[in-house]
Amino acid sequence: MEASVRSPRSTIRFGVFALDLSSGELYKRNHRIRLQEQPFQVLASLLERPGQIVTREELRQRLWPAETNVGFDEGLNSAIRRLRFALGDSAEHPRFIETLPRRGYRFIAKIEPSIEEPPPEIVPETHAIETPAELPPSPKRSKAMTGLLIASTLTSIALAIVVFTVILPRTRESSTPQSSRIDAKFTHITSAAGVELNPAISPDGDFIVYVARTRGNDDLYLQAVGSNAPINLTSDSAYDDRQPAFSGDGKQIAFRSERDRGGIFVTDLGGRSVRRLTDFGHDASWSPDGQEIVVATEGVFDPLSRPSTSYLWRINTITGAKRRITSDDSVQPAWSPHGHRIAFWHIGRDAGQRDIATISADGGKPVPVTNDAAMDWSPAWSPDGRHLYFSSDRGGSMNLWRIAIEERTGKPLGAPEAVTTPSRWSGDLSVGADGDRIAFTAAEPRSNLERLAFDAKLGKVAGSPVSVTATSVPVIQPNVSPDGQWLVFRTEGDQEDLYVSRADGSALRQLTYDSAKDRGPTWSPDGKRIAFYSDRGGKYEIWCIDPDGGGLEQLTAITGTWMSFPVWSHDGTQMMVNNQEGSFLFDLRNARRPIRTYTAFPPFRKDQVFRAVSWTRDRKWAAGMMYRVDGTRVPGVAIYSMDTRKYRVMSEIGRWVHWLSDDRRFLFSEGGALYLGDRITGSFQEIHSMPGQIRPGFAVAPDDSAIYISHAPEESDIWLLTLQ
């Protein structure tokens, strides 16, 4: 929609920002910041009346005319959140936008009058981050060190809580133009606390089956549209059951289950008759005649995290005959309504680009549907085969899109169209047989670092968690410096960069800022280097960087495989690393870089691998997690003896593990709980729990006095979209 305030060449300046009303663009120090249409309209409305209240009703009339049928409250709240993120503002301590509860909003910063001038010239941004005295600027610093301003707020106990005031999104332009939003009505299907996801809508549109965790494991729930009484279809299973898919006649539901070593199972709508279809596979999609399913060898739980290369297989549901139909990476298959093609998404060979493609149901050469920098995933066909719906961040946040397509050939027939939802994150699509209703998962993803005081002698957490970061961008994978004074961690999302801060969150500085995905940072024993794994060279290898951002160096170059989660030995002479085949060691005393040789751990199991993430100080024991050869994680933690070269499974729960300094006990996490285990006795006990999730990658202070976690108060619901 066109904004009434967009007079030609009219620019409003406030602080370091300039809003160009003619182009609908926001600039910060001449650096363009991506701003979607609705946040722009909100900002323009507030700037028209600075210092005055603009009511929610006035904003509704401007953003959503009377004939538009959307969830207004959710939509406006989402627009305000995106606008505050772009400005680096916060609701608790506003510098620009003040909230007046139940009334509206007010622009409180000083602005300059509107002037008639050309839009700002876009130039590279060169402002620097404040550098702590202990970390002097490095002459080797790259352009990774730009783009972040920091605002700190003292709590009543003088703890500095870091607020990311601006984390500039990666500049990306779609290779194709984008059309206006498609009008839709939104219905909230589930509203229970916690996570509901993976919806599938029945062909008649009367039922939705989805996944929820209410008993300690994931179960399938069937719920009639318009009802609030879900039925647990897998209550007799103690294992995770996920990824449901209705058959074309609506009488059966295929799903992934971890029972009996995993595979694809089928049940009726009452959950009474469960039978196995395959002993492998994820994200099943039925053929139109119900005689076959297509599955991927890897399941997608997070499109940002893909542990392996996946392939698609066709399986006859009657005979069990199977054949592979793709030769390159392919996940989340969707069989077209007339059976001609199968849609999927894949990671390209060019540094992790995620795009949609289709392939003939008989195999052959894939046909690209999207090919740009946006993250595109979760494809679903319209019932007439004329459109592919998918989830994408091409508009700034993860939302729903569709593209016209020729089903028989897979040829795209136009540019992607936005189907905007009132959610910060939308995915897991399922399209009903009438083509007008789409079930999807809506979430508000966020995670921040918290510190737990820990009494290692008693094996107990003391007191409540203390916030370390307070950001609008998820932060994960903290690691503590050898002196216990500093943290390194990474962001998650469109931009995956490394940051360093003091242990209380103050003196924050950004180490990397580019399109590469930088993960798993860990301090060297002398505190002079930080190792991490990154795809900045084309595939994931181990890299090192100085704590001041200089000295970036590629540490490994291993042919034919990726590297992940480096772990230094306590004396700094070796490094433990992982790939799809398991764990192995590098000798860091080798002066030649990058390192190309390694010593592998022995095989773990025939159909599983062990990946180590923690190493005792005496270098005698490694601890880690277990994975199937298809890349899916097996619940539980295991340890490995460097002396006997034997493994031992310590628990059947657990997502991350970390040794304590006594080299005997270890901590591990599962869901929102922390557990303390003992290598000698083999016992473990819960020592702390909280709502939400403790993200994989927690850290322990060198003296065991504190545990640093990434806490995600997870919440997601199932929604139903009805096209108008």
Report pLDDT digits (tens) over 38-83. Answer: 888 899 999 999 999 999 888 888 876 654 444 566 667 767 877 8
* Phi, psi of 63, rounded to the nearest 5 degrees: -85, -35
Beta bridge mates, 658: 667
User: pLDDT by residue (tens digit) across 645-663?
Assistant: 999 999 988 989 999 999 9
Give the separation between CA 640 and CA 574, rounded to whole angstroms. Answer: 16
Give the separation between CA 185 and CA 724, rounded to whole angstroms. Answer: 7
Q: Which position has the higher pLDDT, 309 or 107?
A: 107
Task: Find the mean pLDDT for residues 443-468.
Answer: 92
Average pLDDT, the chain: 84
Which band of pLDDT confidence, cut at 50, 70 and 90, is reported for residue 110?
confident
Query: What's domain 184-443's superfamily in CATH?
Result: TolB, C-terminal domain (2.120.10.30)
* Phi, psi of 375, rounded to the nearest 5 degrees: -90, 110
- Per-residue pLDDT at 161 exceeds 70: no
CATH match of 1-122 with 2.60.40.3500: no
Q: Which position has the higher pLDDT, 602 or 127?
A: 602
Would you call 606 exposed, middle or buried from its count of C-beta atoms within 10 A (0-12, 13-18, 19+)? Answer: exposed
Which band of pLDDT confidence, cut at 50, 70 and 90, is reported for residue 630?
low
Sheet holding 322-324, edge to edge: 282-286, 292-296, 312-316, 322-324
CATH match of 448-712 with 2.120.10.30: yes
Give the separation between CA 503 and CA 485, rounded to whole angstroms. Answer: 5
Q: Write down the pLDDT at residue 538.
A: 84
User: pLDDT by residue (tens digit) across 268-281?
Assistant: 998 888 999 999 99
Supply the Cα-derived Rg of the chain in whole angstroms. 26
Asked if 184-443 and 448-712 have one fold, the answer is: yes
**Domain boundaries along the sequence of the chain:** 1-122, 184-443, 448-712
* Phi, psi of 360, rounded to the nearest 5 degrees: -55, 145
Side-chain half-sphere CA neighbours of 31 within 13 A: 18
- Per-residue pLDDT at 350 exceeds 60: no
Q: Write down the pLDDT at residue 494.
A: 67
Which band of pLDDT confidence, cut at 50, 70 and 90, is reported for residue 145?
very low
Q: Which position has the higher pLDDT, 403 or 375?
A: 403
